[in-house]
Each structure stands twice: as structure tokens, then as C-alpha cells.
Structure 1
Amino acid sequence: MVGVRENHARLRYLLLGGCGSGMSALAEILTDANHILTGMDQSISAACQPPFLPHADVEWLPWSETLSSSVDADVCVFSPAVGRRSPLVQQAVARGIQVQSLHECLVNVYKARQQLCVAGTHGKSTTTAMLSWVLESCGRAPGCFIGGRQIATQRSGQLGQGQHVVLESCEFNRSFLTFSPAVGVLTGIERDHFDCFPNQDDEDAAFVEFAQRISSDGVLIYRSDCRRSRAVARSAACRTASFSLDSSGIDWNVSETKLDAAGSHFQLQPRGRRSLTVTLSVPGRHNIANAVAAIAAAAEVGVAPEEAAAALAGFRGVHRRFERRGVYHGMVLVDDYAHHPTAVRETLRTARQVFPNQRIVAVFEPHQVVRTRSLFLEFAEALQMADEVLLLPVFAAREHVARRECCRLSGDLVRQLNERGTRAFLFAGIDQILSRIDYSGKPSDVLLTMGAGRTNLIHDELNRRLQRHSVA
């Protein structure tokens, strides 16, 4: 077994972009390892406090383009959003501070561990969380790095004491090519991250390289009803194992699926083993696929499918993944991270399954202009599944785009939806959305927010209003 501190000296880390989901997870891991952490993020100011991370001990500093002489660090870690070319990173280099990307830091922390890496366009965070949950429940004490916070543990990162680490492995900026998996999971591939991959061939090549980084005695677990995943699997030098929700004759076959408001139930038939019943408390067909991938990966490190299935019955999910946020004057509040047409469609489909007789009011903030333009018609088709759509301007994220272009593109999407017969409206910001909810929301409505930006803040404000009302 690997010791908690990995036999490293206690170091001083400077985390640039420390409020992001990945860096927050890293902060928890480094806190577990007893390192000293200082964090900086552009979102922190006198008016905006840093996030509360119950499992990370970070001294937060306000953002500055100049690295203060008072900052004393052995290692500077930068987030993908900050990037290696940041003036702060260059100043750290000039001062002789060791500089690492987020993923380079993870590799250094976990260099003695066996890496279980979860990649793919959709379901990475939930599948990583499920696999980590299974291994933890079965006494394996894994490390983990997850792009979302688990509801049960309130953690997204953990050093762990066991020989395995479960790593969410994102293709953005090809960062997943930093890892060297013993077990690789590929949940499926669709066009995304248009700013990183100019065409599908370039994107496929990155996933092929990921598969080829798996150790020769390792395994790639892939979704066989995805054509692009099948092509990647054919390129792998390691053993492969397939799973699917729609096919037979594969290694992990699903049948007798039942979906309801409480979750899902299905039969899982592993090749060469007896069939077993799996029950999940997280709803949605997509979560069945996530669970099968997690069970298959756990089996590769010695966890029996029956043990894994029993553990998953207690899995409560990940924040911002169809997360129930409460009830506001009778309206059910649900938040999801969906920002790709497929994820939007699956989230709305799940809402229809969980709330079959209720009006679904979807609030959507498109994420990135290039993604919204490239998948414009797909977004319109997916959003049609809602009864009413409240659109915010595109959240440009790392793009340098004028706000008027963000508004224009969302306005085009509103017009497209109305032409298709779906009531849709454009709002300038969250305050206007909140006013609309108070003005026209019905007690029987489901308010479903979707997006990778700030839509979760709507629920924060609605719950604050309820608290103020209850105190008054």
C-alpha cells in the first residue's frame, strides 16, 4: 500500500486559477498530503470571496498581474484557464519557482499509483465519481480527481492510501495525454472543444493517442454503440472490453432497463459471468451507461461486479448533475451542468421521466460562441423538449468575443426555437430570469437550469430568498 504522503517533503504550492473545479480538487489532494497552499483566482476580489472548500486548506490572495514578492512557493501550478503563457507563470519561472500544469502536478503526486483514467465527451465526472465510490466502498482507499463534487462526501479530490487513483481525463488541450493509464475508460466521443480541435480527425487522433498510452498489459473499456469509440478501440495495443445499452454480443450487456422517478434498474450480463440486477438512485438512461463503465473498470482491479453493484446502490450523485436544489413556492428546482446538445437532450429526457406530468421550464446559458455556432441546430432540436426556454447570452468563457455577439447568437437560438413552436425568451442576465420566475412561475413547474457557467447561481438566490422569508 502507498503511504498517505507518498514520502514527499512538505512543499509550498501556489495555485493559479485555484477556484476552478479541477484546481479545487487538486487543493483537496495537496491538503491531504499536508502541503502548504496559497491560491489566486480572477474571481476573487474585495466584493467576491473565495469558495468554501471544507476539505482544502488554502490561503487565498486577490488576483494581480504581478506576483507579489511576499508570495513564497516551491511549486506554481496553473489551471488550463490560466495557461503557461500567463504573466504570473512567467514571473514564477523567472523567480526560480518550479512550474507545473494541473495535470503535470497530478502525475507527480500519483506517480507511484496505478491510474484508472476516465475519458470521453460525456459522463466523465459521474463515471469517475462512481468508480471512486465503488473502490472506496470496497475498501480500496483510492485517490481520486473528479471534475465535480460528490454529494455524499462533498469532495472532488482525495489523496487516498491505496494503490489506485481514479482520474477524470479531459481531452481539452489534450491534457489527458499527460496520464499513463493501467485502465482506460472511453464513455463515447462527439465533436466538442472546437477551440482545441479544428476538425474531427484531429479530435479522433487525440483519443487514439490516449488509448495508445494505456499500458500493454492494461485494458481499454469503451462504449461499442459509439462508432468513433469503436475506431479508437481498434487502434489500441492493449486488451479491450466493450459495453453498450443497445447491443448484444459484447463484454458488458444491459437488458430489462426500467427508469422511474427514484432512479433506474437493469440487468447486467458480464461476458462469462452470471447476470446481476443493478439499482441506481440517480435517474436517467445516461447514468446506466456511466454505472456499467464503472462496474467494468472496477472488475479490472479485482472488484466483483456484485460488490460494485451493491456499492452503487448508495451512490448519491455529483453536484450540478441533475441535482435537486429544493422547492421554491411549489416549483421544483433542478440544476445540471449540461452544455452540449447531447447532454441537454439527455437532461431534458430525464426530467420528463422524473416529472412526467409537470411543465418543464428550462433556463439555458450556452457555453462558448464557437460551440454554439457549430452545434446551433443540434441545440435547437434538444431544447425543443422543454415546454418553455429562458435563454441567457452565450457565456464566452476563455473566448475574446464582444458581448453583443453573445447576445445576438442567443437571440438567433430564441428565434429558431419559436419558429419550431417552442416558447423561448432571451434575458440579459440572471436578475431578469429571477424576475421572470417570480412573475410567471407556477407551483407545479419544474425549473431546470443547464449550463457550464453561472446558471447554478439562480438556485443560490432563490434559496437565499426562502431563508430570508423563513427568518422574517
Structure 2
Amino acid sequence: MNWDKLHSVYFLGIGGIGMSAIARWFNHIGIPVSGYDKTPSPLTRKLEEEGMRITYEDTLETIPSAIRGDKEHVLIVWTPAIPKDSVQLNFFQQEGFDLKKRSEVLGMITATMYTVGVAGTHGKTTTSSMVAHMLKSAGKNIAAFLGGLTQNYESNLILHDEENEEQPIVVVEADEFDRSFLRLHPNVAVVTSVDADHLDIYGDAQELTRNFEQYIDLLPEDGVLFIQKNALQKLNRNDFGSLTLRQYGLGEGAVRAENIKAGIASFEFDYVSEEKILKGLILRVPGFHNVENALASVSIALHFGVSEEAIRKGLETFKGVKRRFEIKRQDEKGVFIDDYAHHPEEIRAFLKSVKAMYPEQKLTAVFQPHLYTRTRDFADGFSEALSLADEVILLDIYPARELPIDGVNAAMLLEKISAPQKSLHSKEDLLGYLDKQRPAVLVTLGAGDIDRLVEPINNLIAQWD
């Protein structure tokens, strides 16, 4: 696409984490950006501060007149998270505007850049952010489109230096939702996991796996693939042609972590491969799963020639991603950690790590299920994973783009949860319950609007004696 012909870009769902990164990119190159989102959020407020015009009403009247009257020079970027009955979406479709999905636009932006694509049903946001930080801190000329707000840069977009003669490297979170990652052009690919998810899109786990194989097939003949050991086992193939294939995992694989030590604020481990051994690496984003993410990140840094000293510094200075094992509080009043986990495997990995960090203390988990279909499809898995906690508090399902399904609710998880304490609560009465219980180690989990409760909970804990 010739961006020069564009007078403006309008985003349907501009507050989405992936959408907002592209909106910021267009805003950076000087093309006016506006858009719609369902509700205001800290992120949309930040976009408005950066000069973007956002409406929160799905009506024709709230679309800027400059957009409605100039379809030849306007690009509409939309996400499948927008309901099909959206007034604005239907208007743009019926009037013949140039509509492109977020994934299409991201593919076009990155098509001419050397691309590191990080895919996986879990771990891709942290891994892509870690890769981007390690390369940038080592002085590489990088750009990054991420699926979360990095704590190091307080953004989901990192811009490369256009005056730098070194070919830029773009790090992209390759999202499997709606098959978005198949529109990318990776030169180096990471696959962190291939677990059943988004069955409302794929139908079954086999179809999801086939699409991950198609993603790998996007690599050129001289491409490089870093893949987690369990993910590799789930693929229906043994032949990867001329690709350079590197398997990684905890304790086994061509690239592995050994001598892992779980600390309260950090994990220490040795990076071991046939070519390189790096002892005593420090990762200040806790979690066994994050050690595994670090294996992929260190491997990519080595691939691009980053020195051992720069790798150690980049890893130790990585602050993580907002809502990914984000330690909100760790003091005499208690421990409070927030995480985006919304799949049984993510919950299991997260809770195991928290228990390893605080083995002698009661662990209370507040979980908000995300999507009716996901809750239905993985009900047993959710109940089993949540049972790792000593107390489980369930909130109502966050519907996102879905309509209710008869018989599917948070209560259906409760019966099979084997934690000593378990209960259902509304968002409205949660703070009152927590104030009475005053848990020693509290975690909040979910991909819905549970994030709106994080600061109120933290403020509540601050008042405890």
C-alpha cells in the first residue's frame, strides 16, 4: 500500500493492545489517526494524549466528517473483536471503504523489514518484549509491535532509528487469533507453545496445529526456527527442510535451562547449548515459564551476535510486561501479583511459580473467566489448574465479543475445584470480601476487565494494618 495517498486512518477497536500499536505507528509517521472503542481505558486516554481522536459511541454521527466524506484517501483498520452488528463497521463495509484487518496492515508494514515473529498460544507477549529489549539494549536498530505494554518502554510500540544505516530488525508478536499470524513475513520465528485454544475460530486442536505449521512454512529457506520442546512434539511433521531448527526447554533440548533457582523477586539459571554456556543468568521477571521464554530470547540475541555481557545486562534489566507476572506489592502488608493468564496451561504455570516463591504462605487466587466458549471448552482444565491455589475466588465470565451460552457460567468450574476454600463473588463485593480475609499472597488472573480492579485492590491492601 502507498501510505502517501492516505489522508487519515480510522481504527475500529483502537483500544485493543495490538490495534493501538499500529495506530501509534501511523500517528508517528504523520498520518492523522482517529477511531472507535467500546469503553475508555488508560490506554485510550494515553492515545488521546498523543493526539488521536477517539469516540466511544458506535454511531454514524460520531465518525469524523473528514472520514465519512473521503473514502478514497481513508484506510479503515478493524479487528474481528468488533461485533458483526457494529453500526460503524457495517457503514464502512456497505459504503465501499478500504477496510483491512489489523493483521493485514501489520503484515504490510513489516513486509520490507527483517522480521522476528514470536508465536505461541502462551508466552508470546513476554518473549517478544524480552527479545526486543535485549536487542535494543545491545544497540541493535530495532522496531517492535507488541501485544502488551512493556515496563521498560511503557509502550507496545518501539520505533527504529530511521537515520541508522543498519538494516532494522522488527520484532512482531505473531497472534494466532483469527489466523492473523499467517499474514506476516518472518525470517526468524519462535513458537513458544501449541496448546488448544481459540476453538471458536479453529474448531479443534488439530486445525490449530495445522495453522502453526503453516506459520512455520512462511519462513524462507534460510530461515531460523526456535521452538519449545512440547510445541515441537505436537506438530505433525519431522521434516523442516533447510530451516535451522533449535529446540528449547527446561532441563532438556538442544537449548536448555539448568540449575534453576527460584527467588522471591528473580530467577537464576544456566543457559546451556552445544555452542554456548552462560552460567548464573539473572531474570527479574519470576516464573519457570519466563525462564523458558528467556531461553528463546537469549538464543535470538546470540543469533544476532549480541555479546555475553550485553545478554546478561539485557536480561537482568528486563522489567517485564504489564499484567504478565506483575508484582504489584511485596511488603509487610502482603504480596499481590497480577497476571493476564486466561488459559488452563497459563494458570497452571503461573500458580506453580508463585507457590515455589512463597511455599509456606497461603495462596489466594481471584480468577475471571474469559469468553463463554473458552470456559465451556476447557472447564475441567480450568478447575484442575486453579486447584493449585489454597483459595479460589471466581468472578463472572467476561463475555468480550460473545453472547451468553445457556448453562455456561463461572459456577460450572466451582464443583471440580479441589482447593480447600472456593467461592463465587461479583466484582462489586470482591473488595469487601478481601478486606475481611486479608490474604497473605493474593493473585488476580484473567484477560477481561479484571484489570480495572487491580489498583483498587492494591489501594485496599495499602490500608491494612
TM-score by length of 1: 0.88
Residue in structure 2 matched with residue 27 of structure 1 by the alignment: 23
SS at the partner of 2:199? coil
Bigger drift between 225-234 and 297-306 goes to: 225-234
Q: Compared with structure 1, are the counterparts of its residues 173 and 10 closer, same or farther at alpha carbon in structure 2 (3 Å cutoff)?
A: closer
CA separation in 2, counterparts of 1:246 and 1:461?
40
1:179 CA displacement: 0.3
CA separation in 1, counterparts of 2:49 and 2:220?
33
Residue in structure 1 matched with residue 102 of structure 2 by the alignment: 102
Judge conservation of contact 2:390–2:419 (CA < 8 Å) in 1.
Answer: no
The letter for the 2-side match of 1:238 is: L
SS at the partner of 1:209? helix
Matches within 5 A, 1:181-260: 181-229=186-234, 231=236, 234-235=239-240, 238-248=243-253, 250=254, 252-260=255-263
Q: Compared with structure 1, are the counterparts of its residues 389 and 205 closer, same or farther at alpha carbon in structure 2 (3 Å cutoff)?
A: same
Q: Compared with structure 1, are the counterparts of its residues 343 and 240 closer, same or farther at alpha carbon in structure 2 (3 Å cutoff)?
A: same
SS at the partner of 2:434? helix
The answer to whether structure 1 residue 270 and structure 2 residue 273 are counterparts is yes
Judge conservation of contact 1:75–1:97 (CA < 8 Å) in 2.
Answer: yes
CA separation in 1, counterparts of 2:387 and 2:335?
20
Bigger drift between 161-170 and 26-35 goes to: 26-35
CA separation in 2, counterparts of 1:308 and 1:327?
27
Q: How many residues align?
A: 452
SS at the partner of 1:321? coil
Residue in structure 2 matched with residue 3 of structure 1 by the alignment: none
- Give the share of equivalent positions with the same residue, in percent: 28
Q: Compared with structure 1, are the counterparts of its residues 87 and 217 closer, same or farther at alpha carbon in structure 2 (3 Å cutoff)?
A: farther
Residue in structure 2 matched with residue 158 of structure 1 by the alignment: 158
1:52 CA displacement: 2.4
CA separation in 1, counterparts of 2:422 and 2:428?
17
Q: Compared with structure 1, are the counterparts of its residues 447 and 238 closer, same or farther at alpha carbon in structure 2 (3 Å cutoff)?
A: same
Segments of structure 1 that go 5 or more residues without pairing to the other structure are 1-5
The equivalent position to 1:64 in structure 2, one of 50, 58, 75, is 58
The equivalent position to 1:440 in structure 2, one of 428, 437, 440, is 437
CA separation in 1, counterparts of 2:139 and 2:11?
31
Judge conservation of contact 1:281–1:316 (CA < 8 Å) in 2.
Answer: yes
Segments of structure 2 that go 5 or more residues without pairing to the other structure are 68-72, 162-166
Q: Compared with structure 1, are the counterparts of its residues 143 and 135 closer, same or farther at alpha carbon in structure 2 (3 Å cutoff)?
A: same
1:274 CA displacement: 4.4
SS at the partner of 1:325? strand
Bigger drift between 323-332 and 189-198 goes to: 323-332
The answer to whether structure 1 residue 17 and structure 2 residue 13 are counterparts is yes
CA separation in 2, counterparts of 1:364 and 1:377?
15
Matches within 5 A, 1:421-440: 421-427=419-425, 429-440=426-437
The answer to whether structure 1 residue 146 and structure 2 residue 146 are counterparts is yes
Judge conservation of contact 2:58–2:86 (CA < 8 Å) in 1.
Answer: no
CA separation in 1, counterparts of 2:201 and 2:3?
37
1:90 CA displacement: 4.3
Bigger drift between 318-327 and 287-296 goes to: 318-327
Cα shift readout 1:423-457 (whole Å, capped 9, x = no counterpart): 11011x21111111112224xx1120000012222
CA separation in 2, counterparts of 1:435 and 1:17?
33
Judge conservation of contact 2:384–2:416 (CA < 8 Å) in 1.
Answer: no
Residue in structure 1 matched with residue 447 of structure 2 by the alignment: 452
